[in-house]
Amino acid sequence: MASNRQTIPPRARRRRVGRPSGDDNDLRARLLDAAIARFAREGIGATSLRAVAADAQVTPAMLHYYFGDKAQLTRALLDERLVPALAPMRARLDQVGDDPATLVAGFVAGIAEIVRKHPWLPALWVREVLCEGGELREALFDKAIPQFPQMLAQRFAAAQKDGRLNPAIDPRLLVVSLVGLTLFPAAGAPIWKRAFGAHDLDANALSAHTLALLDGGVQPPRTRRKSNAIRK
Amino acid sequence: MASNRQTIPPRARRRRVGRPSGDDNDLRARLLDAAIARFAREGIGATSLRAVAADAQVTPAMLHYYFGDKAQLTRALLDERLVPALAPMRARLDQVGDDPATLVAGFVAGIAEIVRKHPWLPALWVREVLCEGGELREALFDKAIPQFPQMLAQRFAAAQKDGRLNPAIDPRLLVVSLVGLTLFPAAGAPIWKRAFGAHDLDANALSAHTLALLDGGVQPPRTRRKSNAIRK
DNA sequence: CAACTAATTAAACAGTGAATTAAATTAGCT
DNA sequence: AGCTAATTTAATTCACTGTTTAATTAGTTG
């Protein structure tokens, strides 16, 4: 809403009409970058192609030239940005063994790496996957993470059968909890950093905390067996 | 009191013009209900007053009559729905003591109760508080939860000093983790229920799982201290 | 160097649906 | 009978949106 007054074009940064000279050969990638940044910040539905074009200092017609229409742009974003961003996680989890502790550690580290490399991802995930009616939810169900959560849950369940996982937790919900302890804090970082004034907490601190919580829970090592405040 | 609520007269889908007969005196509350449901499903920005009015089987002009404009409707929603919905949590946490275990259990139970009573809340929270640019974020910072997270974090920090909290976790991030383990799974329930086909998992199962995870972490009780001797 | 192709902007097109307001209509209350 | 409260109808106002066509310029090639 606020950034849409372009009737007076800034004289400085204005391209001449016609084919430009020089090497602007990765413009398509720049358009994708601009689009994904806007989509993450405002949501796909609320983002106009004009805004994306303005961010990339280009006219809306360029988006049509490179992508056709908005749906195809979104699809390109999914295929060329989101799916590749998530891909390393699968490889990583295939490498670590079947032990729950290493699986969990691998997941936490994997999300941390993804978030570090693609800062737009948590917000986009929340908006377009977590929210009902998000435009990427169905697509991700179909192609990106076909049976990824199920695979994780099954490995947890197998470990639980072998007595290598806390028997009181649910293997499927553990996957949900892992997302809630990694992607969710990443998406909410602006909030809690401000709420706590916690500018000393970086990604490493978050990972360490999360791993400690997942490893031992809230109680201190000593009183684990004696204090049965939450014992069924 | 509830004589003429949502029981639509089968013949008259459309109301007649002019003041209606009978006691339709809780219409304002019904408008708020319709609005909050839409806002949670589609987001405030994407919801038209027309849609809200249609849901309540009323014309858009009624919304103007009762609330003025959209901003005032949103404000009313915040004051009369969201804040009261969150209020019991504070009372609950004042009752349980300062022990981290009871605090955590109280928080989990408190969120579960809120979600049960107000099913729209998780989605609305995600959309309008968690997402950047959410229309309720600033308002909540100002009035609803003024120092609520800080208070929790301080109580955790104090307990940690006394050795009653796992020293490897961060008291502030523990608050974040708690939200990620409760509100987030509630908001994402449609996703994971579908992903896992987990229709056997209800709110109780979720609470039990979460408490178990927070209490002991992922590892089974016996093998906690880096032992690979699997005791059965 | 002429012709063709690629990249780009400018400007128009064709809708859409939004919030809000004014006025008319009906019911209840004194 | 008349005032007030609660509704709907219909009009007003208008900001944008995605998309397309045509013009313009730069490289490329024969």
Nearest to B201 among A42, A164, A173 (CB): A173
Please choose, from the candidates A95, A232, A100, A125, the residue with its C-alpha nearest in 3D space to the C-alpha of residue A187: A125
What pLDDT is attached to residue B19? 60
Q: Which nucleotides of D are covered by protein (CB under 7 A)?
A: 5-10, 16-27
Report the pLDDT averaged over residues A74-79: 96
What type of residue sits at position A184? F
Distance A77 CA to C10 C1' (A): 28
Q: Which of A90-94, A118-122, B93-97 has the highest mean pLDDT?
A: A118-122
Report the pLDDT averaged over residues B1-20: 42
Q: Any idea what DSSP says for residue A14?
A: -
A190 or A143: which leads in pLDDT = A190
pLDDT exceeds cutoff 80 at B134: yes
What pLDDT is attached to residue A166? 96
Longest pairwise C-alpha distance within chain A: 77
For B148-191, what is each residue's pLDDT tens digit? 899 999 999 999 999 999 999 999 999 999 999 999 999 999 99
Q: Which of residues 14-43 of A touch strand C (CB under 7 A)?
A: 14-20, 24, 27
What pLDDT is attached to residue A192? 95
Q: What are phi and psi of B5, to 5 degrees?
A: -85, -110
Torsion angle, alpha carbons of B16, B19, B20, B25, to 10: 140
Q: How far apart are the first and last CA of chain B?
A: 60
What pLDDT is attached to residue B28? 93
B70 touches strand C (CB under 7 A): yes
pLDDT exceeds cutoff 60 at B228: no
Determine the distance in angstroms separating the CA of A164 from the nearest CA of chain B, rounded to an integer: 6
What pLDDT is attached to residue B222? 61
Q: Indicate left, alpha or beta for A226 from its phi (over 0: left) and psi (-120 to 50: alpha).
A: alpha
Inter-chain CB proximity B130 and A188 less than 8 Å: yes
Nearest to A215 among B100, B208, B218 (CB): B218
Report the pLDDT averaged over residues A68-97: 94
Q: Out of A18-32, A78-92, A193-207, B30-44, which region has the weakest mean confidence (pLDDT)?
A: A18-32
Report the pLDDT averaged over residues B2-25: 48
Burial of B171 (0-12, 13-18, 19+ CB in 10 A): buried
Burial of B66 (0-12, 13-18, 19+ CB in 10 A): middle
Report the pLDDT averaged over residues B113-135: 97
A77 touches strand C (CB under 7 A): no
What type of residue sits at position B227? S
Determine the distance in angstroms separating the CA of A16 from the nearest CA of chain B, rounded to an integer: 35
Give the other-Cβ count within 10 Å of B29's Cβ: 12
Inter-chain CB proximity B166 and A104 less than 8 Å: no
Inter-chain CB proximity B220 and A166 less than 8 Å: yes
What pLDDT is attached to residue A25? 73
What pLDDT is attached to residue A219? 86
Stated length of chain B: 232
What pLDDT is attached to residue A155? 96
For chains A and B, what is the number of CB pairs under 8 angstroms?
224
Chain A residues inside the 8 Å CB shell of B157: none
Chain B residues inside the 8 Å CB shell of A133: 41-42
pTM, 2 dp: 0.88
Q: What count of Cα atoms within 13 Å lies in the side-chain half-sphere of residue A137?
A: 16
pLDDT exceeds cutoff 90 at A42: yes
